[in-house]
Amino acid sequence: MKILFTIFERLLYVGVNFFTVCGFLGLFLYFTDQLEATDGDIGKFIFFCTVTLFLGIVSFIFEVLKEVIE
């Protein structure tokens, strides 16, 4: 059971890092005028931020569960 939590925790960290990098890359390109911002692009950025926040909350819950199991 502990091994499953460790594997899932690592996958969550990879997901958080991926969505964070994508979100900040999009924001950087938007502010340097490399990206023509439309409503769809801003919606994608908000989506990346929302997914990052959700994955962060889930990883926090798994940290707490891991401590309870140990």
Residue ranges covered by each domain of the chain: 2-69
Measured CA distances, 32 to 22, 39, 47, 50, 61 (Å): 15, 17, 21, 23, 37
pLDDT tens-digit series, residues 24-66: 777 777 677 665 666 666 777 777 777 777 777 777 787 777 7
The answer to whether residues 69 and 1 touch, using CB atoms and an 8 Å cutoff, is yes
DSSP state of 4: H
* pTM (two decimals): 0.51
